[in-house]
Structure 1
Amino acid sequence: MHVLLIEDDDRVAEPLAEGLHRFGFTVEHARTGAEGLAAAEPAMVLLDLGLPDMDGIDVCRALRARSSVPIIMITARDSEVDRVLGLELGADDYVSKPFGVRELVARIRAVTRRARTSPFDGVPAAVSGGWEITGTCDDAQWVGPLSIDRRTRQVCLQAVPIALAPKEFDLLVCLAEDPGAVCSRQQILDTVWEPDYFGPTKTLDVHIAALRRKLGDPSWIENIRGIGFRLVPPADHLVSPPVRPEPRRGRR
């Protein structure tokens, strides 16, 4: 992953960049807000608020006005006002100095997994006699006949709405980020319950069971023993396209 680090203090930036390199990240270092705004768009921005030429809040505002690139603020400011303002302006997370590289890496990975995929116009495409595992239509992502709208937090199966609790929806979104791929238990806990969750891991199994029940078929979520879970449409759901609801017509 290509990370843009906007930080004016080399005493902070250099060891941080070195630590991120050890975890496989490519780091571009900008020392001012203007330099950061002029850089090519990265996969992730790490943004200090105390910059010499402009406030990091203004850099965040400018970045968000032109791009949906994930932004994590890293700063010595620890007031609630700064945190709330940064998050309301579009930052995805906020880390207060001092912090460990491992914590930052965990937050980068969690933010990356939460990042929404960009929808495209069209409908799910048919492949080899069935429907492809994933696609998007309008604002919804399709996984077989299952549609997930992150904007409205609505889920439908064969055009029938499914009522999910907030954590159940977040869990489904986590698994749907890469349908068919295995998400480890720790990845899911970091994403759905945040990296600092220290409660019982049994809660994950409870939510998986509830989600399976509401999807109507436990085979929607496969348990990969000793590793984690993955989301795949059951075989009997791959033979026909998703049914779209007909527009309501008034009585004549």
Structure 2
Amino acid sequence: MLLVEDDELMRRSFTVALERYGYAMKAAADGLTGLELFRDEDFDLLILDVMLPGLDGIGLCRRVRESSLVPVLMMSARGDGLDVVAGLEAGADDYVVKPVETSVLVARIRSLLRRAAYAPAPGLGAEQPVGEEPTRSEGATLVFGDLTIDTGGLEVFVSGSPVALTPTELKLLLEFAAHPGVVLERHTLLRDVWDYGWDGDSRVVDLCVQRLRRKLGRDRIETVRGFGYKFRR
């Protein structure tokens, strides 16, 4: 796992805390160093601070998304709305606001890893290797017009061409495809896709829907004002 955080104290404390949970950590103090590490090694997840010297976290996330669908968790010291929106638009899967408790950070990490099908075993200390992929059961092939979803192989095609989706985008699409024609409220999607056991920020849903629309077609997911979203049959 790669952590990019310019504050030395936070960088060290996050690294030590996450290592205690069994995660192998690499850390960088600026965006350009983080980008070099990302290009040199394979990581299961990236944690990026928004405010970084050289190349900020949003710019780094954009560079990562040019070549990778690795889960990205953004951290913002201010929780500023513009920071959050910019990070999610750049391709981040989720965000947390600093200061953040280790238990909350680990919960968000585990949620992202589950979406990527690399979930560590629960509990403190030694855990199942993060890179060990669980066995997937066979699934069905769902067809909605020119959109085809292979739920077993976790592949998506539009007019026969493969579409690259992040783990969060894929899980959101699968949730919509499981309920075609049904209005799904934002808080329901936060619970079922983002694993929020409390009221989360619905902007993560809205921005992820926007990214899906850009990749699958703008008319695929309908906004039902005052309620949520509906996947068109």
**Fold shared by both chains (TM-score > 0.5):** yes
Q: CA deviation at 1:41?
A: 2.8
Runs (5+) with no aligned partner, structure 1: 118-131, 156-160, 172-187, 199-252
Matches within 5 A, 1:107-146: 107-115=108-116, 133-135=137-139, 139-142=149-152
Does 2:72 match 1:71?
A: yes
Matched-pair identity in %: 34
Q: Could you give the per-residue CA deviations for residues 7-55 of structure 1, whole angstroms, max 9, x where no partner exists?
A: 1221101111111111111110111211111111310100011212122
Q: Could you give the per-residue CA deviations for residues 158-212 of structure 1, whole angstroms, max 9, x where no partner exists?
A: xxx8655537xx78xxxxxxxxxxxxxxxx95855514359xxxxxxxxxxxxxx
- In structure 2, relative to structure 1, the CA distance for the partners of 1:91 and 1:142 (3 Å cut) is same
Matches within 5 A, 1:1-252: 3-39=1-37, 40-115=41-116, 133-135=137-139, 139-142=149-152, 151=173, 153-155=176-178, 163-166=181-184, 194-197=196-199
Q: Distance in 2 between matches of 1:13 and 1:136?
A: 43
Tell me, yes or no, if the aligned pair for 2:71 and 2:93 is still in contact at 8 Å. Answer: yes
Q: Distance in 1 between matches of 2:194 and 2:103?
A: 18
Q: Distance in 2 between matches of 1:166 and 1:193?
A: 15
Corresponding residue pairs, total = 156
Runs (5+) with no aligned partner, structure 2: 119-135, 142-147, 154-169, 201-233
Tell me, yes or no, if the aligned pair for 2:2 and 2:26 is still in contact at 8 Å. Answer: yes
The alignment's C-alpha RMSD in Å is 3.4
Tell me, yes or no, if the aligned pair for 1:110 and 1:190 is still in contact at 8 Å. Answer: no
Over 6 Å off, 4+ runs: none
Q: Aligned to 2:66, what secondary structure does the other structure show?
A: helix
- In structure 2, relative to structure 1, the CA distance for the partners of 1:162 and 1:72 (3 Å cut) is closer
Alignment match, 2:224: none
- In structure 2, relative to structure 1, the CA distance for the partners of 1:162 and 1:47 (3 Å cut) is closer
Tell me, yes or no, if the aligned pair for 2:51 and 2:76 is still in contact at 8 Å. Answer: yes
Q: Aligned to 1:47, what secondary structure does the other structure show?
A: strand
Q: Distance in 2 between matches of 1:44 and 1:58?
A: 17
- In structure 2, relative to structure 1, the CA distance for the partners of 1:11 and 1:192 (3 Å cut) is closer
